Structure 1
Amino acid sequence: MTGTSFDLDPLMTAEAWREEGRDVAIATVIETWGSAPRPAGSHLAVDRDGNFEGSVSGGCVEGAVIAEALDVIAEGNAKMLEFGVADETAWRVGLSCGGRIRVYVERLD
């Protein structure tokens, strides 16, 4: 499994993975409120095997986003995810920073 790196461009990684024939999803932070760990426009690339590159939350909700990305790869339907302090899921996965994030996850075809 690839670790999270802020040095590599997740979109370039996703493109390279697609050229290798891998199934890939991209998660993009589209909106933030309050104290969010990563800014809008941040990306996380995920392949069918669960390898990932980039970050949408500085590690807070990556596990949940990766799980949803794997579903998107398998089913082909994009998803809109929202995590925030009022969301029990956010606390469970670790987004306790006081902010909220909205993440769009789509499969690359």
Structure 2
Amino acid sequence: MAEAAAEVASVLDQAAAWLAEGRQVALATVIATWGSSPRPVGSQMAVDDRGAMAGSVSGGCIEGAVVHEAQQVLTTGEPRLLSFGVADETAWSVGLACGGKVELYLEAIR
């Protein structure tokens, strides 16, 4: 539990540093998982307007798609609910062929 709290704090610290530098930042949070999922609920990933990342929401298999969606959130300011899993036609392309599903909430932070 302490390790997970330290990881979230590290992601939020990096997001705060980017904001202090004048960058725009989006935060993705795992809000639900089903079946085999590499990261637990509460895992977070920050993405800045340059595409830099801190943290992880999937152990690497969907991060590219999340970065792409984060850029859209930073452009529009509208949060998004993202789902990735075997029932999704993008499951194989993002690397979730293991039978799991993950749902994320993605929002711009200020």
* TM-score normalized by the length of structure 2: 0.89
Aligned to 2:12, what secondary structure does the other structure show?
helix
Q: CA deviation at 1:92?
A: 1.3
Larger helix proportion, structure 1 or 2?
A: 2
| CA distance 1:84–1:9, change in 2 (3 Å) | same
Whether contact under 8 Å (1:25, 1:69) holds in the other structure is yes
CA distance in 1, matches of 2:25, 2:49: 6
> What's 1:53 paired with?
54
In structure 2, the gaps of 5 or more residues are 1-6
CA RMSD of aligned residues (A): 1.4
> What's 2:104 paired with?
103
> What's 1:92 paired with?
93
| Aligned pairs for 1:1-109 within 5 A | 9-109=10-110
Length, aligned pairs only: 104
| CA distance 1:21–1:49, change in 2 (3 Å) | same
- Could you list the runs of 4 or more consecutive aligned residues of structure 1 that deviate by over 6 angstroms after TM superposition? none
Identity of aligned residues (%): 57
> What's 1:3 paired with?
none
* TM-score normalized by the length of structure 1: 0.90
